[in-house]
Amino acid sequence: MNIVRILLLDDDDSNVNSITKYFQPLGAEVVFTSSIDEAIVHLKNTQPSLFLVSLSLAHNNNWFFLDKAKKSLAPIIGLVEKNQSSWMMQGWTHGINAYLVKPLDYMHLKTYLPSALAQVWAIKKRVNTTDERRCLVDRRIVGMGRRWYDRLNQINNAESDEKGPTNFGPFTICSDKKLVTRNGEVVKLTPTEFKLLMLLFRNRDQVVSMETIISHIWNSSNRASEEDVKQYIYMLRKKIEKTPSKPSLILNHKGFGYMFSSAVMDSSAAS
């Protein structure tokens, strides 16, 4: 059985757990390194089918690794920070097919990675059509991007199809009916409050960043601010917490985001 491998070349090991969790349903192996030399060894020995590469490491290495990686014909996703836009065009020319903005928590990956891979197979080929070998290379990269896109969409669709009621403490959530009850009585939530609760609950015991909450709950034409998120967290706590001023379910991790805690998911958590 062939093992699907993803090579993660990054200078920040905080992304490893979320990336590993995201690819786990595919049985994929995430190989992490912060060393260009080690990455080249992995490239040669393990033949990754997808690369996630820190733009800063690639730039500091004068793009040497990217020039080698693009010859493998596997899609390359660049991991970029907000202040690195000036390097992105150089990254394109050295083989990066699409970009993701760090930090990469689980929901950020779930929301944006399929779109990034969609760019790989939807892009217009920019090469001279008379260069048959290069056109063949581009077609193979596009095809691999499409296969990754289809795999990840299957995972996301399977998660979206979970419609059975879920219990935690005195609460029951029915995602298909958009309904939350406490001890059998309906908790009246707005559509935005319900989406926010489901986002946090499905990623319980993991910090969900402000950026991920905003991108998941609000579309680009109705962009929200961090103050909007705080206001909705406040309103949601008033409806589900036993003592909203001392929350035990929805916890704030200052500077990072919010987390739904499963540690108190029993009848004494909120009633």
Which of 23-32, 49-58, 66-75, 112-121 is most confident? 49-58
Mapped to the 3 state alphabet, what secondary structure does 13-66 carry? HHHHHHHHHHHHHHCCEEEEECCHHHHHHHHHHHCCCEEEEEHHHHHHCCCHHH
Say if residue 115's pLDDT is above 70. no
**What is the model's pTM?**
0.53
Do the Cβ atoms of 145 and 121 come closer than 8 Å? yes
Predicted confidence (pLDDT) per residue in 177-208, tens digit? 889 999 889 999 999 999 899 888 877 777 88
Domain locations in the chain as residue ranges: 5-160, 166-260
Q: What is the CATH number of domain 166-260?
A: 1.10.10.10
β-partners of residue 52 are 8, 77
Do the Cβ atoms of 81 and 102 come closer than 8 Å? yes
Question: Among the CATH numbers 3.40.50.720, 3.40.50.1860, 3.40.50.2300, 3.40.1190.20, which is that of 5-160?
Answer: 3.40.50.2300
Predicted confidence (pLDDT) per residue in 233-258, tens digit? 999 999 999 899 999 999 998 887 89
Crossing angle (nearest 10°) for helices 106-122 and 16-23: 70
d(CA 148, CA 55): 21
CA 136 to chain centre: 30
